[in-house]
Structure 1
């Protein structure tokens, strides 16, 4: 199984896991609330409203996770009215709060995930509906009723965000996979184009000179030998060019790694800034290789070990030293100093006369890599 197949299989498994987790949550909501009403008649009415609400929520979740068509807008609106009615009923009979806010919460998360409505409309509207339904159910606008309504609205928002997070993680994984696929495809096309440019001309000339040498072998042996020597020289040159191309392909390019980092971070919803945006300091291949590896490792750490929303990558030349800084916000708690891949890179930079250090605060995490501009090639 190749890497592309493994990634596709893993992504499909994540989508299946997300879908069945959401289905389990919807079933749980039905099971919890269906037995809450105090009388059989009330149970029947609540169940009759609750089941369609959860069915619409499931269909909306399927849009985001499985790619199915969305339900009509009118169906979603009716389901929202039904979910608000359940919360209103709970306030009228003196219950309210959890778990009565769950139907509206799951529908709010599902609408944000599956309907193509702007988030600035969905979330404020959902919270306002929860507040209004709870307040209307209390038949009062006193401080206690308002406090209960605010609590119900908060429960609705919190549960909705928690449920939507599952869809969001699957969406981010899909975007990262698409970005990786795009990057791999682009690199393969670049390599194929360069290989064609290098070998196409050489092989054509080799073929022509070989044919000519064959024709001259009987009439002008000396010229045929000279042509074959040219063929040998061209073959050696083609072999050297191919080796150089492979070495360049395997080496890490700082500019490529910075561009890949920005593309992957943007795909994950993380804003990235690069400075300087234009021409960067001239660096030796050894320096660009090591700093490119630092950018790659920092990007991986941001995606795996932070909840970052913004990253800054800067490269400068200070007193004969190339300085790379990689800064991200919202780091997770962890051990001080470089660990894992960064610890290995720190050793490599120190052996080249440079350094690598990391500093973290509650709001940011900074990796600073320094290498002499005259580092060994």
Structure 2
């Protein structure tokens, strides 16, 4: 049985392995248990015992193949796709025939208890490939058939028919409930994994839409004004050349402004607060299935961290988040921002440090932790990163404006005492 190629950190591979071995292990145990005494009984003819062994082997093989097909190795790609692979019809038919032979042998030997387990297991496996309520109709019909067959056989043999009818029917229902329940749990896990991946893709698309909206706002405004002034200059070219020339100079200035603003958007120099940068990062991490916790102590106050401090810390946050998404198997992340000792400190820790960490990416100039460390050092700060076991911690610090911090605290204290004065 191969593992499921899923995203790291989901646990879906281990869950599939658990489900597969649980079904196969329990089925194998009860099938062997149900027929063991008859196979080992020397009073039973050798041909009957050999037939029981052959039927047992075929049934177990069919169940193994069918369960492996039912638990897809490739994750669901879209909400409308079927999580199960195509049913192995030949194996299902062979397994059904083997289970019927095994049940018939046990029933003929007056084993009115466990004879129905083999047929019940194969019917349950077949039911997992049937959508909706029809699977339960199949289980109910099989239970009714087992009750009638066991009861009639016992009655004809002159033995009590209540147990012979009730126990096989109950065994069919119980086997179907357990089997369908385990595979239903797998389907739910698969759907949740799909939802997580779709959420991550939507987060990326949302960011692209945000970028497109920013670019549209900048280009639309500038181009509209450029078009109007160009049209005005064309009309004034003959009547007032001097004014037309002035308008064209204005057009040139607007074009330069549009180029500068466009470059700023492309390079990510959009004015956002550090809290927004951290919020964006935590949403992306959450979409990737990573539990991200944020702690601000105290909450960020505008003006305390001078430019380009907020942007540099925002870039550190982006880089650390990107490294987690690309290189780690993290399940938990912690982000902390606090002001202490005249420094604004940002920390980002996760529990998914790779076995062969590659903290520095081969990327364009201006990205990567080493380049960011140089930029923070030039701004009077520091950027460090270290690995401690399976934890990876990125820490950045920049000096703050002490007077701004104190005045902000004074304003906060004044706001707190003002109601009392009133």
C-alpha distance in 2, partners of 1:23/1:272? 43
C-alpha distance in 1, partners of 2:102/2:200? 48
* Alignment-derived partner of residue 371 in structure 1: 396
Number of residue pairs matched by the alignment? 281
The higher radius of gyration belongs to 2
C-alpha distance in 2, partners of 1:59/1:268? 32
1:263-282 aligned at under 5 Å gives the runs 263-267=283-287, 270-276=290-296, 279-280=299-300, 282=305
1:104-125: CA deviations, max 9, x gaps? 543221343xxxxxxxxxxxxx
> Cα 1:317–1:291, aligned 2, differ >3 Å: closer, same or farther?
farther
C-alpha distance in 2, partners of 1:370/1:80? 64
C-alpha distance in 2, partners of 1:227/1:346? 46
Contact 1:253/1:292, CA 8 A, preserved across alignment: no
Which portions of structure 1, spanning 4 or more consecutive aligned residues, are displaced by more than 6 angstroms?
A: 13-17, 21-24, 79-82, 249-254
1:52-71 aligned at under 5 Å gives the runs 52-59=123-130, 70-71=132-133
* Alignment-derived partner of residue 322 in structure 1: 345
> Cα 1:350–1:232, aligned 2, differ >3 Å: closer, same or farther?
closer
C-alpha distance in 1, partners of 2:93/2:181? 17
> Cα 1:74–1:325, aligned 2, differ >3 Å: closer, same or farther?
same
1:200-224: CA deviations, max 9, x gaps? 2222222222222212211211111
Per-residue deviation, 1:373: 0.7
Per-residue deviation, 1:231: 1.3
Point out where structure 2 has 5 or more consecutive residues left out of the alignment: 1-6, 8-73, 109-113, 148-162, 363-367, 401-422
1:41-98: CA deviations, max 9, x gaps? 57995565444322322235xxxxxxxxx3269638738979x99xx99xx99xx9xx
1:273-326: CA deviations, max 9, x gaps? 222299437434233212321123224455xx25x3x54332233432523132
* Alignment-derived partner of residue 359 in structure 1: 388
Contact 2:349/2:392, CA 8 A, preserved across alignment: yes
> Cα 1:49–1:280, aligned 2, differ >3 Å: closer, same or farther?
same
Contact 2:127/2:138, CA 8 A, preserved across alignment: yes
TM-score, normalized by length of structure 1? 0.56
C-alpha distance in 2, partners of 1:215/1:268? 57
C-alpha distance in 1, partners of 2:86/2:98? 18
> Cα 1:270–1:298, aligned 2, differ >3 Å: closer, same or farther?
closer
C-alpha distance in 2, partners of 1:20/1:106? 17
> Cα 1:48–1:370, aligned 2, differ >3 Å: closer, same or farther?
closer
